[in-house]
Each structure stands twice: as C-alpha cells, then as structure tokens.
Amino acid sequence: MDKRQESKFWALFWTYEGQSADIDQLVRSRVLRTLPEPGTRLRADAAYFLLVNFDHMVGRVMAEPFVPKDTYNSPDVNHVLRPIDQALDAILGKLSDSPSQDLDGYSGHQLLRSIDEVWDDLAFFLAWA
C-alpha cells in the first residue's frame, strides 16, 4: 500500500467517531492486538473498514435508544459488546487461518472475504438469524 494512503487511513481510523465510543474502543483494541504480529496484522485500510462497518452495520442498529440520524450520542451498547467481540473473534480468526502474503498485513479485500466466510456465525452472534 502506498505510504501516503496508509497514513491517511490510519488518521481516519484514529479520528473516527462512531455512534458509540465503547464500540469504537473495542474495535480499535482488537485491531491493535493484531499489529505486533507480522503476517497477522491488519493494514490501515482494513482497520478503518472494520471500524466503520461495525459502527454503521452493527452498533447503530443494535444500540439503544435507536437514533437514525448521524449523531454521536453514546447510546447504551453494553448488551452488544460481547456479541461484537465474538464476531471480531470469528472474523479475525478466519483471517488468520491463512497468513497474509502482503508484508504490510491483511487488506480490506481479504477482510471482506473473511467476513463472508463466517457470515453464518456473525448472524448467530449478532442475532441476525
């Protein structure tokens, strides 16, 4: 990945404010755990992709009270943190089944494939089924 793009993705990742600070913190901490391990780390684009998608597709839908507009109001998400952590385990676990061929880490595209492969597990963890 181009170093300028990489630095922009990391800047977006660190400054992103989703609807829930708790979900943002959980996803960021899981991404940080991947960084020290060569061959298992997420690239900046994949890290930002994961954060934004968990905010928009999980946190905003499952948080209470539901607020459809784009606001930062830190709703109650305590009931969602464990299922999100389980979903992250499934996604990152599937991703690590095959070490990244890119020295910079797993790409957003590889992350998307991992999500697709564990979709049934995600449906169970996040009560989509």
In tens, the pLDDT along 73-94 reads 556 677 788 889 999 999 999 9
As a dihedral over the C-alpha atoms of residue 3, residue 117, residue 81, residue 86, rounded to 10 degrees, the angle is -110
Please check whether residue 126 is in contact with residue 87, taking contact to mean a CB–CB distance below 8 angstroms.
yes
Report the pLDDT value the prediction gives residue 113, as an integer from 0 to 100. 92
Q: Domains of the chain: which residue ranges?
A: 3-125
* Alpha helices in 16-128, H assignment, sequence order: 21-34, 44-54, 60-62, 78-96, 108-117, 119-125
Q: What is the pLDDT tens value at each position of the chain, 129 positions in all?
A: 788 999 999 999 999 998 888 889 999 999 998 877 666 789 999 999 999 999 888 887 887 776 666 555 556 677 788 889 999 999 999 998 887 878 788 889 899 999 999 999 998 888 864
